[in-house]
Amino acid sequence: MQFEFAKFWLPIGLLAGWGMGLGLNVQAGESVSITDIADAHVMSTPYERLDLEPLQQALDEQLETDSDSVFLPGHDLGPLTRALVNMEAVEGRVEPARYRLRYGLQHFSPDDESPVIEVSTVQVDRFNLAPAHRQELIRIHGSDRVRPADEADQAAHVSWRMASRPLRGTVALPIAISRAEIPDAFAETMDCLGIPCTSLTSVIDASDGDWQEGELPELDFEAPYVISHQGVPSVAALLELLLADAGALQRNDGFNWRGFEFREGVAPGAAFVDIIIETGLGQDRAISGVLRDDRLMDHETRTRWVRIRTVATAPEQAPVVELSRKFVRWQ
């Protein structure tokens, strides 16, 4: 399936940041629809709305299906995983790459008597680090020893936004999805948990503080997406391992979305969970990720951090896995 995308080349001053932005601040008695809530997240310059039907078709082609199930593929994926997998189904795989995922939550009720609907807002940014990595190899080894640039090296930095809700057996049914390309000059200014998003330095190497080793996760689980890639977890698998350790997923044979608790004092639609995943940066085959869960509803702990690094070993052997956590108290 081929997708044609518009390209945005806007002056940097017109790009009002590539953060999540804020959702609608719904006031009592105000007539607002759930579509209005979704549009407040996905529709801002320079994002372009995408049609949902071909996106579902692209997802169908990437995910394993259960022929006996009445549900569409991906019905049990949480909002973060669904947004990531759908983006990769359309954009293809790029490596080395850095992913920045952000998550927010907004409560909505059409009237005083209706139950509250949880609207999840997700932004997935993917930075293509292949050009920077190639230039670094040329600096070290010389241009005659480095392969020529190929089509993957030219892939744009991209950003996807998705607003979703649970409905009739689907954990994260998309209400609206949009896409934009991030200009190179702006991507270089963006922050990924303390490092430039286009840096070749690992976010794990740059993260300091009092980290404590945690119980290592089991890498053998069931999922409709590809779990392993070249001896290490796939990006989607590492994302779900991070989410499970943070308590947002419940582990059975696979992972079931439990979600994050609503954060009082956080603006509607604003992100309170940030995740960085990076793959293909080092000489060894590896993938790493860091999750920050902020403004917890806890009287002592403000922020929970989780980081996981996995490195491939010999063929047919499990990768080396490191997991650590740290907690930051309210001041």
Q: Tens of pLDDT along 299-322?
A: 999 999 999 999 999 888 889 999
Lowest mean pLDDT among 79-83, 147-151, 321-325: 147-151
Residue 77 reports pLDDT greater than 80: yes
Task: Give me the residues paired with residue 35 across strands.
Answer: none
Residue 160 reports pLDDT greater than 90: yes
Cα separation values, 85 from 74, 100, 259, 302, Å = 9, 14, 18, 30
- Say what the pLDDT of residue 5 is: 59
Instruction: Give the model confidence (pLDDT) of 169-206 as tens digits.
Output: 899 999 999 999 999 999 999 999 999 999 999 999 88
Separation CA 221–CA 232 (nearest Å): 14
Instruction: Give the model confidence (pLDDT) of 54-63 as tens digits.
Output: 999 999 999 9
Confidence of residue 1 (pLDDT cuts 50, 70, 90): low
Mean pLDDT of the chain: 87
- Say what the pLDDT of residue 108 is: 86
Residue 136 reports pLDDT greater than 90: no
What is the arithmetic mean of pLDDT over 317-328? 94
Output 322 or 9, whichever has higher pLDDT. Answer: 322
CB-based burial label for 143 (10 Å; 0-12, 13-18, 19+): exposed
- Say what the pLDDT of residue 167 is: 93
Confidence of residue 138 (pLDDT cuts 50, 70, 90): low
How is residue 259 written in tokens?
């979600």
Task: Give me the residues paired with residue 233 across strands.
Answer: 228
- Say what the pLDDT of residue 245 is: 96
Instruction: Give the model confidence (pLDDT) of 214-252 as tens digits.
Output: 999 988 899 999 999 889 999 999 999 999 999 999 988
Residue 94 reports pLDDT greater than 50: yes
Amino acid, res. 153: D
Confidence of residue 8 (pLDDT cuts 50, 70, 90): very low
Separation CA 124–CA 74 (nearest Å): 17
Output 309 or 150, whichever has higher pLDDT. Answer: 309
Confidence of residue 137 (pLDDT cuts 50, 70, 90): low
Listing DSSP states for 192-228 in one string gives ETTEETT-SS-HHHH--S--EE-PPPP-----SS--E
- Residue-level length of the chain: 331
How is residue 286 written in tokens?
């590896």
- Say what the pLDDT of residue 72 is: 79
Kindly state the greatest CA–CA separation across the chain.
70
Q: Which among 277, 294, 286 is positioned nearest to 329, based on CA atoms?
A: 294
Instruction: Give the model confidence (pLDDT) of 258-274 as tens digits.
Output: 999 999 989 888 999 99
Separation CA 309–CA 323 (nearest Å): 7
The terminus-to-terminus CA distance of the chain in angstroms comes to: 51
- Say what the pLDDT of residue 109 is: 83
- Say what the pLDDT of residue 15 is: 41
Task: Give me the residues paired with residue 170 across strands.
Answer: 167
Q: Which among 162, 200, 197, 153 is positioned nearest to 17, based on CA atoms?
A: 197
CB-based burial label for 283 (10 Å; 0-12, 13-18, 19+): exposed
Residue 298 reports pLDDT greater than 80: yes
> Which alpha helices (H) appear in 13-141, and where do they start and end?
34-42, 52-62, 79-91, 130-141
User: DSSP label at 74?
Assistant: T
Q: Which among 123, 120, 129 is positioned nearest to 269, based on CA atoms?
A: 120
Confidence of residue 12 (pLDDT cuts 50, 70, 90): very low
